[in-house]
Amino acid sequence: MATCCFRACSSLAFSASSSKPEDSISRRRMSCVLLPLQRRSFLMKSSNGHPLNAVSFQDGLSENSPIEDRIGHLSESKHNETTISITVVGASGDLARKKIFPALFALFYEDWLPEHFTVFGYARSKLTDEELRNMISGTLTCRIDKSENCGDKMEQFLQRCFYHSGQYNSEDDFAELDKKLKLKEEGRKPNRLFYLSIPPNVFVDVVRCASRHASSPTGWTRVIVEKPFGRDSDSSAELTRCLKQYLSEDQIFRIDHYLGKELVENLSVLRFSNLVFEPLWSRQYIRNVQLIFSEDFGTEGRGGYFDSYGIIRDIMQNHLLQILALFAMETPVSLDAEDIRNEKVKVLRSMRKLQLDDVVIGQYKGHTKGGKSFPGYTDDPTVPKNSLTPTFAAAALFIDNVRWDGVPFLMKAGKALHTRRDQSSVQACSRVTCISEHSVLIWIKQPMSSSFVCNLMKLFI
């Protein structure tokens, strides 16, 4: 169940980041969303069994009234109503700005948030509510099918966004956040969601502080955790152990947003629902598989997170490995999340231990092109000058099973490369018929309509 929600949530949250109108959020995918927030029907129940009733949004007493008065007064009339408070922790950062706030706006625009909800940004940076709104308003787009009243809707959404500055390990700061949340919740039964858009080394601090001082007293409390989940197996296990001191497993939603890319979601359907592909999907016809992540911009101020992890932990170990597993797995018993996960695990367990000789790493340097200068990785002020963190890596991986024996899975990932960012692709090339370069080319970042190119002539020669 949790996996289903996490996949759906990631698709929902991140499909909102594109500015292309054809990327409209599909209602099909929304039907399995992490936040069961459909305003009109509210048939789904939250994890603690409370229904998410429709609520009305009224301001109640004036801002100047004491908090207790406001809450006390309102709770008489609203104690049966439910509200949701979404706190984006790390609100000043790249992910929050580019993807999370736009995704929340898209939900709001499409009426998928309950009538009463509040969004809080939380980070150490000192910002006012207005500064947060200015920051995020630049990334909100009306890329949804109909863009009527978009400006009004943006304004309404921004008015529901607030900011609280605090340290990630300060219980006092989270207690202050709790007071502000209560004020906005106005006596309604609150459900609270914390989206951890921060480097993993502060996950546990935040979860400790939030669960002790800012969890919902009567509704559910859930936490979305971003990858990477630790630096290695030991730290990943330790992270899970620590999180579980404060949360039960069904409160934790782990996200890999590449699973939400439309084509990644459709990879299983492509394979298992099209009889033409499945017989060709093996060492017999596929010479190699390439998974390429290529961005034409660098860290741009994200060194605080990136430098401790590097490109392998940022992209390869999670996004690309997830795609590899989906690409290579055997037919699952069903397309249910658990069944797919079981098949993916089998692929990962069949993988040969990576040899150093099969890996290349690098770091981008500054250069000048056409009179314009491009900074190197260590020119980024958030990166230590002597950093050796890789920003590029390429590796040849092998799966030692009957289907894939001897077929290299080539992974490449890099920041600040020459190629444009929409050139991530999965390539498969027929062993027998690879006259030109590609037999099957799957674009991950492109909209569905132009993202799958299949040269049937070559496949069937």
Ligand X SMILES: O=C1O[C@H](COP(=O)(O)O)[C@@H](O)[C@H](O)[C@H]1O
Express the helix, strand and coil content of the chain in percent, nearest 5 each: 40, 20, 40
Q: Are 459 and 314 in contact (CB under 8 A)?
A: no
Among positions 304-333, residues that touch ligand NDP (CB under 6 A) are 304-305
Contact flag: residue 215 with ligand NDP (CB under 6 A): no
Among the residue ranges 51-59, 109-117, 123-131, 429-437, the one whose residues contact ligand NDP (CB under 6 A)? 123-131
Q: Which two tokens stand for residue 396?
A: 């040849």
143 binds ligand X (CB under 6 A): no
Kindly tell me which residue out of 160, 182, 192, 257 binds ligand NDP, with binding defined by CB under 6 A.
257
Is position 265 an interface residue for ligand NDP (rule: CB under 6 A)? no
Query: Minimum distance between the CB of residue 96 and ligand NDP, rounded to whole angstroms?
Result: 6
Element housing 101 (H / E): helix 101-109
80-88, 105-113, 197-205, 278-286 -> range binding ligand NDP (CB under 6 A): 197-205
279: preceding bond cis by omega (within 30 degrees): no
The token pair at 377 is: 């990785």
The binder of 198, among ligand X, ligand NDP, none, by C-beta within 5 to 8 A per type, is ligand NDP
Q: Minimum Å distance from CB 224 to ligand NDP?
A: 10
Question: Are the beta carbons of 127 and 163 closer than 8 angstroms?
Answer: yes
Is 314 a binding residue for ligand X by CB under 6 A? The answer is yes
Confirm or reject binding of residue 92 to ligand NDP (CB under 6 A).
yes
Smallest CA-to-CA distance from 85 within 259, 243, 215 is with 215
Structure-token pair, residue 206: 């935040």
Among ligand NDP, ligand X, none, partner that 199 touches (CB below 5 to 8 angstroms by kind): ligand NDP
Tell me which stretch binds ligand NDP (CB under 6 A): 75-83, 122-130, 229-237, 443-451: 122-130
Q: Calculate the dihedral angle through the C-alpha atoms of 168, 171, 177, 179, rounding to the nearest 10 degrees.
A: 180
Find which of ligand X, ligand NDP, none residue 92 binds, CB within 5 to 8 Å per kind.
ligand NDP
Q: Output the smallest distance, CB 209 to ligand NDP, in A.
A: 13
164 is catalytic: no
CB neighbourhood size of 287 (10 A): 17
Could you say which of 13, 106, 177, 198 contacts ligand NDP (CB under 6 A)? 198
Helix ranges (DSSP H) in 331-416 = 337-349
Q: Is 429 helix (H, G, I), strand (E, B) or coil?
A: strand
DSSP per position, 180-204: HHHHHHTTSEEEEEEEE-S-GGGHH
123: Cβ contacts below 8 Å, ≥ 6 apart:
89, 90, 91, 92, 93, 165, 166, 198
Given the residues 73, 213, 319, 367, the one annotated as active site: 319
Q: Does 142 bind ligand NDP (CB under 6 A)?
A: no
* Binding residues for ligand NDP (CB under 6 A): 90, 92-96, 98, 123-125, 168, 197-200, 202, 226-228, 257, 302, 304-305
Positions marked catalytic:
319
